[in-house]
Amino acid sequence: MTTTINEAADGLPDVRDAFAGKRILLTGATGFVAKVLLEKLIRTVPDVGRIVLLIRAGSHGDARARFEREVAASSVFDHLRAVRPAWLERFLAERVDCVTGEITAPGFGLAPARFAELARGVDVVVNAAASVDFREPLDEALAINTLSLRHVTAFARVASAPLVHVSTCYVNGHNRGEMREDVVAPAGSARDGIPRHRDGWYDVDALIASLQRKIERVRAKADGADPERLRRRLTDLGIAQAQRHGWNDTYTFTKWLGEQVALRAMHGHALTIVRPSIIESTLREPAPGWIEGVKVADAVILAYARGKTSFFPARREGIIDVIPVDLVANAIVLAGAEALSAGPGRRIYQCCSGSTNPLALGELIRLLQAESKRNWRKYDRLFHAEPKHDFRTVGEGTFHFFMGAFGIGATAWNGLRRLAGAPGALHALDKLRTTRLLALTFAFYAHPRYRFHNAGLLALAARFGEEARRLYPVDARLVDWEDYLCRIHMAGLNRYALRRRDAVPEEPAAAAAAPAAGVDPLAAPASR
């Protein structure tokens, strides 16, 4: 019997036909983006062959046990559980394979025979694993965001499979201007110190080796020091090295290094890099507003809602590039379908909103603050009381001056209170610590000096035709920012990301306001 393949106008197959019968290896399945991607594939490509998930063993069992606990039980599948419960259960049991492996280890930590067997059974690799804490210790960020690409690309080459690698638009670092879908050059003087290969990628082997030597020196000096102190020193090292070479933080620096490793290793093979901007809750699917954890803007929203900050350093006229996570998952699906159908080559797509549906940072703040004051009772998990104060933004210089003056005054007044026997710390000091932590982590992203472009991604969607654009939309012009931010996202944040107030004790100030290690500033919780 012959199978008819539907094709788009320029010869690309229908997206669902491209994946039919194919075997996909997906890394990072316990993360935010990968969960949305997995649900989308299951729901819209029921004829996919198999989905193989490479997952680290958790503390309570192997990859399958962790999958059942952290992925299969997720509310991302609530829609499918409601409309096709038996079918979903059967699909997860019969066509989702879980492999216990470590992406940071050569051969994923598998026996050579098992590694080869796994490679023989894969048609396309999607790498969504990442360590996404902006301020992670350099050794940990380097291992997962950079060195792991050596192992992922080795697997893709053995499998003779295309690789779709999920990166971030913020690999653009301290560059400024119009950022297009191309290999990113380091910013400023750092460009001269990293040699560029004639085929476009940067040779980062010497830089990686230098970073590893610096890590070892820090470890040697800290011999016998407590683990937390060593961790802080490695975190400081990561920030210092990132800023020296043209990036704001360890996350984006190591993601850029990872891109260069992948570009070199997959030269002559099929490699697609998908770069999302700031990923937030779903626009439409599987349910409007679905989110997991607290993302970039949400940390500031949460601090404002709890009365733990009222001002922030920001450039209100700058374009803050936000993209709903379902549009990102759709971009990965389209990139994977193209990779399965086209030959070897390098493709880079940016999934973003800044060039087609720009949102000014000041407008985002205005919309969210107005909704908070108008409808705060609707968001019972987010707001514990009516917000009475305005959220103000100031320039960086003003911010640092005010923080210094405010800190001296608050500390002195707190000292007087203690001398007088008044219990506890001032609320003002609590706010000071929270505001400083938020600024330390996110101020760079609140001063956008470039605009991301996605002409290539929109052209790819057009090549797949109207049906694909309907099923797998990637165009940010679909987003009505007022509706999305003030109704869809706020409701989703309240429903999915936060617990009921009576479910957990009140959190400490900094933890309630800013992300801890593993909270994704741009994408998803840390996942391997």
* Separation of alpha carbons 224 and 327, rounded Å: 48
Torsion of CA 21, 25, 26, 27, to 10 degrees: 170
The helix (run of H) or strand (run of E) holding residue 52 is strand 50-55
The count of other CB atoms within 10 Å of the CB of residue 381 is 16
Tell me: pLDDT of 528 over 80: no
Burial class (CB in 10 A: 0-12, 13-18, 19+), 206: exposed
Give the closest residue to 51 by CA, choosing from 74, 75, 27, 77.
Answer: 27
Instruction: Convert the pLDDT of each residue in 4-38 to its tens digit.
Output: 334 454 567 799 999 999 999 999 999 999 999 99
Cβ atoms of residues 350 and 457 within 8 Å: yes
Tell me: pLDDT of 155 over 70: yes
Q: Which amino acid is at 323?
A: I
Cβ density class 316-328: b for 16+ within 10 Å, e for less: bebbbbbbbbbbb
Tell me: pLDDT of 524 over 60: no
Which of 25 and 448 is assigned the larger pLDDT? 25
Cα R_g (the chain), whole angstroms: 23
What number of CA atoms fall less than 13 Å from residue 453's CA on the CB side?
10
Omega cis (within 30) before 313:
no
- Topology of 15-292+321-359+449-491 in CATH? Rossmann fold (3.40.50)
Q: Tell me the whole-structure pTM to 2 decimals.
A: 0.89
**Least confident segment among 127-136, 184-193, 209-218:** 184-193
Residue 438 pLDDT: 75
* Separation of alpha carbons 62 and 161, rounded Å: 26
Residue 300 pLDDT: 80
Tell me: pLDDT of 517 over 90: no
Which of 16 and 421 is assigned the larger pLDDT? 16
**Least confident segment among 43-47, 147-151, 296-300, 461-465:** 296-300
**Least confident segment among 76-85, 239-248, 441-450:** 441-450
What is the pLDDT averaged over residues 54-65?
88
The helix (run of H) or strand (run of E) holding residue 23 is strand 23-27
What is the pLDDT averaged over residues 161-175?
97
Residues 6+ apart with CB under 8 A from 120: 159
Residue 357 is given by DSSP the state S
Q: Quick one: three-class SS letters along 190-249? A: HHHHCCECCCCCECCHHHHHHHHHHHHHHHHHCCCCCHHHHHHHHHHHHHHHHHHHCCCC
State both tokens at 374: 């108008």
Residue 407: pLDDT band (50, 70, 90) is low
Q: Three-state SS for 450?
A: strand
Q: Is 177 left (phi over 0), alpha (psi -120 to 50) or beta?
A: left
Residue 396 pLDDT: 67
Q: Which amino acid is at 376?
A: W
Please give the backbone phi and psi of residue 24, each rounded to the nearest 5 degrees, phi first.
-110, 130
* Separation of alpha carbons 294 and 21, rounded Å: 36
Residue 507: pLDDT band (50, 70, 90) is very low
Q: Which amino acid is at 402?
A: F
What is the pLDDT averaged over residues 376-399?
83
Residue 416: pLDDT band (50, 70, 90) is very low
Which of 203 and 518 is assigned the larger pLDDT? 203
Instruction: Convert the pLDDT of each residue in 257-314 to its tens digit.
Output: 999 999 999 999 999 999 999 999 999 999 999 999 888 778 888 888 887 777 777 7
